[in-house]
Amino acid sequence: LELKRMSVSKEWRGQGIARALCAEVLRFARARGAGAVVLSTSAVMVAAQRLYESQGFRKVGAYSPSLLSWLLRFQVYIYRCDLPASP
């Protein structure tokens, strides 16, 4: 399952909404038998990286989406959270 473009408006940040949304995505994926959840985020999204890592995601790759981003050393990080099968 891929988590794509999760965002919380600035005026609502810091209230645990992103954490709750991320946890719900993981519950949703587990309930449907997904083996993992993957996502990508940019290198500048440090708070997002901390959130995902606190939810069990680990960084599994990185890439530059264009020649310009490569020249500027801008990267997109790929994260993965493996979901153990339910007994």
The pTM (predicted TM-score) of the whole model is: 0.87
Alpha carbon 43 to chain centroid, angstroms: 12
In CATH, what number is assigned to the domain containing residue 35?
3.40.630.30
Per the CB < 8 A criterion, the answer to whether 80 and 60 are in contact is: yes
Mean of all residue pLDDT scores within the chain? 93
Domain tally for the chain?
Answer: 1
Residue 87 belongs to a domain: no
Residue 43 belongs to a domain: yes
pLDDT-derived band at 70, boundaries 50, 70, 90: confident
Residue 69 belongs to a domain: yes
